[in-house]
Amino acid sequence: MISTLIITLAIVADQPAPSARTADRLQALHLADAKKWNMYLDEGRKTKAELVEKPIYVWTNPTRSGGQHGAVYVWNDHGRPVAVGSIFSHPETGQRMVCHEFHSLATDTLLPERGPEDQRWDPKASVKFQPLPGAPTPEASPARRLIQMRSLAREFTAHSIDYQMERWELRLLGQPLYRYEKAEGDVVDGALFAFVTSAGTDPEVVVALEAHKSGDALAWHYRTIRFSDSNLYVQHLGKEVWSSVRDDKNQLHFNPDHTYRLIRDRAIAELPELVAEQ
């Protein structure tokens, strides 16, 4: 493990960070692709979630595919995210490969759509949240609930095992990727927390924490979602509560109910700035 870490750090050190101009071009590319998706919420395609155009997180992974750069976006319905997506790209055979990675957070219908000729994402189930065992009652004030959520997130740990069967401990980011304390309906508050790889800042696992209202009662609920092609394992207070292991049903590009989807979308000409920087 020590030798692996040394090699990883050396690779990271050898990869120059993109210039500010290049970073802006990459973000513009990724946002344009995010805008192509309509996240419909009904069979008649009359209601759709709203894309938050400012990315909730920008990440890099210099050890994968010659250097990946990505941005994470959310699509909201009445203040609550119903889809989270990572649009990223990397160099490939002299071009730039653009990829789309999604996971549903919709507790009801979600019908993502682009043009008919494009690769599709067809979630076949809604996403269910579970009560968080041992969690205290959500606090009355938003500021206190944020403190609670950060504390509750630290109760989780996670690791991955890649295709070479190497284990990677995943690191929890201290701040949530996204906070939605003004959602409507039975969700009083919520936040998305990410576990990232030590090889970069690529999110591998996302934990959603939400304060749910049932009558006069409030309680914390959670959902763990996949954002990786590796095998993933999540523990809560040391006990494994979720895993995502590749098999014939849980494949590289989708999970069994297709709430997760990874699309290698298309190859485009490499950005001139990146060619110049190589």
Q: 276: part of which helix (H) or strand (E)?
A: helix 272-277
**pLDDT tier for residue 200 given thresholds of 50, 70 and 90:** confident
User: What DSSP letter does each residue of 33-50 carry, written as one string?
Assistant: HHHT-EEE-STTS--BPE
* End-to-end Cα separation, the chain, in angstroms: 30
Closest by alpha carbon to 26, among 56, 50, 59, 66? Answer: 59
**pLDDT tier for residue 238 given thresholds of 50, 70 and 90:** very high
**CA separation for the pair 162, 129 (Å, rounded):** 27
Average pLDDT value for residue range 217-231: 96
Contact assessment for residue 193 and residue 172, using Cβ atoms and an 8 Å cutoff: yes
pLDDT in tens, 78-108: 999 999 999 999 999 999 999 999 999 999 9
Domain span at 232: 2-277
The count of domains in the chain is 1
For residue 143, CA distances in Å to 127, 147, 148, 150, 275 come to 27, 7, 9, 11, 46
pLDDT in tens, 131-149: 999 999 999 999 999 999 9
Which sign does the torsion angle of CA 165, 166, 167, 173 carry?
negative
User: What DSSP letter does each residue of 220-245 carry, written as one string?
Assistant: EEEEEEE--SSEEEEEETTEEEEEE-
